[in-house]
Amino acid sequence: MKAKQKVAIVTGAAMGYKRGGSSIGGAVAIQLAKDGYKVVVVDKLRTGERTVELIKEAGGDAIFIRSDVTSTKAVKEIMSITKAKFGGLTCLVSCVARYSSGMAKSVAEISEDEWNTTLAVNLGGYFKCAKYAIPLMLKSGGGSIVNISSYASFASMPNFSVYSVAKGAIDAMTRSIAIDFAPKIRCNSICPGFVRIENSENGRTRKELKEWYGRIAKQYPMKRVAEVEEIANVVSFLVGDKASYINGQSIVVDGGKSVYDFHEF
């Protein structure tokens, strides 16, 4: 790899699946490209092509790999393509996530198939990408990993069991990677609260969205919901030199909700 060349893989980096709107992974990929990284955009959705278009329109360099990170063969291929195209790897951001109505259940109610399928994506995809990215990063001289976790790692939502379990495990894996591969590789996670993304809008009208976001905003001290760029900015900091001594941490980015007591006297 060329000296000081920065190369990042961002999984779950497609733009919104309906209109190519906002997504956390897409915003992260775009920001890293602005930071000078060559970016490998990975997603099952074809709207990953839109992420690459936006990066190139801004003068950056990126490629799109349509892939399934639950497949070991596919993840190995991602690493192989990255090495062939850009010569190495210095950054991995895992941002894949699976949501379904079937996963919105308690431990007693969720089916075993739903549990296993969700964990295969929301945890297994993170594990496989880290497992096969780390050797390439070490050969490239080291780098940084950021796992996109969730506020749900610390405060569970009712009837959303498997999601919280996956996020808690991501944070634990983050700490494990951090101690096993320092000082060559730093690993941290980001735990967002609610973030405005297209894939959560579910066909709501503009008026309905305004009302919905307004109701959610009341739960947050900042009195608004987070924008995807605000999560991408934290990723940008964590993988950069200014965060060179931050390792093994789970950074909560929730506008203060996790420390907010709603009790009224």
Say how far apart CA 240 and CA 235 lie, in whole Å: 8
How big is the CA angle at 243 (ends 241 and 249), to the nearest 5 degrees? 145
Could you tell me if residue 219 is inside a domain? Answer: no
Predicted TM-score (pTM) above 0.85: yes
Could you tell me if residue 106 is inside a domain? Answer: yes
List, as own/partner pairs, every contact residues 231-235 make where C-beta atoms lie below 8 angstroms and the sequence separation is at least 24, other chains included.
231/24, 231/27, 231/28, 231/148, 231/190, 231/192, 231/195, 232/24, 232/27, 232/28, 232/30, 232/31, 232/32, 233/31, 234/190, 235/28, 235/31, 235/32, 235/93, 235/146, 235/190
Could you tell me if residue 203 is inside a domain? Answer: no
pLDDT of residue 3: 53
pLDDT tens digits for range 11-49:
999 998 777 688 999 999 999 999 999 999 999 999 999
What range defines the domain where residue 150 resides?
Answer: 6-198+228-255
CATH number of the domain to which 138 belongs: 3.40.50.720
Tokens 């393509």 correspond to 81
pLDDT of residue 34: 98
Could you tell me if residue 87 is inside a domain? Answer: yes
Do 5 and 86 meet the contact criterion of CB atoms below 8 Å apart? Answer: yes
pLDDT of residue 206: 82
In the beta sheet, which residues pair with residue 38? 7, 61
Could you tell me if residue 187 is inside a domain? Answer: yes
Per-residue pLDDT of the chain (265 residues; tens, 9 = 90+): 555 689 999 999 999 877 768 899 999 999 999 999 999 999 999 999 999 999 999 999 999 999 999 999 999 999 999 999 999 999 999 999 887 877 889 999 999 999 999 999 999 999 999 999 999 999 999 999 999 999 988 888 888 899 999 999 999 999 999 999 999 999 999 999 989 887 776 778 788 888 888 888 888 898 998 999 999 999 999 999 999 999 999 999 999 998 887 666 7
pLDDT of residue 149: 97
Number of structural domains the chain divides into: 1
pLDDT of residue 117: 95
Could you tell me if residue 207 is inside a domain? Answer: no
Distances (CA, A) of 96 to 14, 92, 103, 123: 10, 12, 16, 9
pLDDT of residue 200: 73
Could you tell me if residue 208 is inside a domain? Answer: no
pLDDT of residue 264: 67
Could you tell me if residue 211 is inside a domain? Answer: no
Active-site amino acid positions: 163
